[in-house]
């Protein structure tokens, strides 16, 4: 029986730029950074309150199972915002929005009341989208 | 849980938080932070905790300790790390660090240095074999 998820992948256009974005803007922590022979790099980050789930910042490069054509296709999809989507949780969507917006993070949806709670959608600096919702539902509106 | 604060309050609370993020190594006091937020101290503390889950004093302390972890990991001495992140007393820093991380600063530094050494010597121990295979790297052993 599957018990836990330990690693997930986010495909990024540039690992250095993605690392800076995830750490400096989103507040993630760098977990592992291993340069490999041949120019490869194993780079993972973790969410501040979830140290045991590593997010691998994977390059859209022709490595391993990918040839140049596969890599170009993936790069194109990521860049257009057509590939990556995931969900983040935070304590307070509006405060997180204010903070990330002040840091220059692009939001495709500002905090919006939905029947299931408040939600916002942000993009990383590669083009991947992430929804932002709250750990616990609130009562009342601002 | 309490209802949302008003929109303009968010901006002030976030501004105060960003002030701490930027100037955590300085002797920031409650009045300065509340001045940034333009609130009374008790009102500010209550709203800050509502938004971030901890009171500003604890947030600032945790921020300093997180930065201290990074500095120790980079090889900085404990005394220098302590003063660099804004703690005035080494014993206070050491106690807070141990309470926060579960390890004394020197022990933490030693463990992280050993991990860094192991990564250099056995990098494949830190990369899941499925990823290594996918990326075309030589597979030796799975970390788990």
Q: What integer is the mean pLDDT of B46-61?
A: 91
Mean pLDDT for all residues in chain A: 91
For B98-120, the pLDDT digits (tens) are 999 999 999 999 999 999 999 99
What local confidence, expressed as pLDDT, does residue B5 receive? Answer: 64
The model's confidence at residue B28, banded by pLDDT at 50, 70 and 90, is confident
The model's confidence at residue B81, banded by pLDDT at 50, 70 and 90, is very high
What local confidence, expressed as pLDDT, does residue A141 receive? Answer: 47
Residue in A closest to B121 by C-alpha: A34
On whether any CB of chain A is under 8 Å from the CB of B126, the answer is yes
What local confidence, expressed as pLDDT, does residue A139 receive? Answer: 55
**Which among A40, A92, A136 has CB closest to B51?**
A92
What local confidence, expressed as pLDDT, does residue A142 receive? Answer: 47
- Which of residues 58 through 117 in chain B touch A, CB cutoff 8 A? none
Length, in residues, of chain A: 142
Residue in B closest to A58 by C-alpha: B135
Q: What integer is the mean pLDDT of A36-60?
A: 91
On whether any CB of chain A is under 8 Å from the CB of B133, the answer is yes
Please determine, for residue B142, whether its predicted confidence score (pLDDT) is greater than 50: no
Buried b (16+ CB within 10 A) or exposed e, A114-129: eeeebbbbbebbbbbb
Please determine, for residue A40, whether its predicted confidence score (pLDDT) is greater than 70: yes
Residue in A closest to B137 by C-alpha: A64
DSSP per-residue codes, A67-130: -HHHHHHHHHHHHTT-S-EEEEEES-HHHHHHHHHHTT-EEEEEEEEETTEEEEEEE-TTS-EE
Distances (CA, A) of A77 to A28, A59, A71: 24, 13, 10
The pTM assigned to this predicted structure is 0.87
Please determine, for residue A84, whether its predicted confidence score (pLDDT) is greater than 70: yes
Please determine, for residue A96, whether its predicted confidence score (pLDDT) is greater than 60: yes
Long-range contact set of residues A57-64: C-beta below 8 Å, sequence gap at least 24: A57/A10, A57/A12, A57/A15, A57/A18, A57/A19, A57/A22, A58/A9, A58/A10, A58/A11, A58/A12, A59/A11, A59/A12, A59/A14, A59/A15, A60/A11, A60/A12, A60/A13, A63/B135, A63/B136, A64/B133, A64/B134, A64/B135, A64/B136, A64/B137
ipTM of this model? 0.81
The model's confidence at residue B27, banded by pLDDT at 50, 70 and 90, is confident
Interface test with A, best of B14, B65, B66, B112 (most A CBs within 10 A): B14
Q: What integer is the mean pLDDT of A6-32?
A: 96
**Which among B4, B14, B144 has CB closest to A102?**
B14
Greater model confidence, A20 or A114: A20
Q: What integer is the mean pLDDT of A103-122?
A: 94
Report the candidate in B2, B13, B75, B69 with the shortest Cα–Cα distance to residue B45: B13
> How many angstroms separate the first and last alpha carbons of chain B?
39
What local confidence, expressed as pLDDT, does residue B72 receive? Answer: 97
What local confidence, expressed as pLDDT, does residue B144 receive? Answer: 45
**Which among B4, B50, B126 has CB closest to A140?**
B4
Buried b (16+ CB within 10 A) or exposed e, A95-111: bbbbbbbeeebeeeeeb
Please determine, for residue B1, whether its predicted confidence score (pLDDT) is greater than 90: no
Q: What integer is the mean pLDDT of A83-110?
A: 93
């Amino acid at each position: 029986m599957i018990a836990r998820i330990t690693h997930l992948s986010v495909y990024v256009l540039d690992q250095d730029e993605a690392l800076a974005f995830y750490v400096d803007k989103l507040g993630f922590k760098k977990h592992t950074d291993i340069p490999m022979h041949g120019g490869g790099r194993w780079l993972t980050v973790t969410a501040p309150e979830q140290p045991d789930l590593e997010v691998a910042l994977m390059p859209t490069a022709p490595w391993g199972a990918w040839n140049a054509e596969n890599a170009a296709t993936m790069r194109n999809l990521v860049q257009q915002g057509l590939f990556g989507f995931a969900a983040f949780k935070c304590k307070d969507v509006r405060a997180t929005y204010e903070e990330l917006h002040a840091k220059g993070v692009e939001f495709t949806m500002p905090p919006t009341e939905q029947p299931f709670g408040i939600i916002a959608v942000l993009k990383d600096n590669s083009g991947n989208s992430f929804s932002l919702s709250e750990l616990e539902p609130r009562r009342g509106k601002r | 849980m309490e209802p949302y604060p008003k929109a303009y309050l968010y901006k002030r609370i976030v501004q105060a938080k960003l002030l701490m993020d930027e100037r955590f190594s300085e002797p920031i006091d409650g009045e300065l932070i509340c001045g940034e937020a333009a609130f009374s101290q008790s009102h500010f503390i209550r709203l800050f905790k509502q938004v971030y889950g901890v009171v500003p004093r604890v947030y600032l302390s945790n921020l300093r300790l997180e930065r201290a972890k990074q500095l120790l990991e980079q090889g900085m001495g404990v005394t220098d790390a302590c003063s660099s992140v804004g703690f005035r007393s080494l014993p206070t820093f050491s106690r807070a660090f141990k309470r926060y991380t579960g390890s004394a600063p020197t022990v933490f530094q030693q463990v992280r240095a050993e991990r860094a050494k192991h990564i250099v010597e056995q990098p494949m121990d830190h990369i899941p074999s499925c990823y290594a295979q996918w990326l075309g790297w030589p597979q030796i052993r799975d970390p788990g």
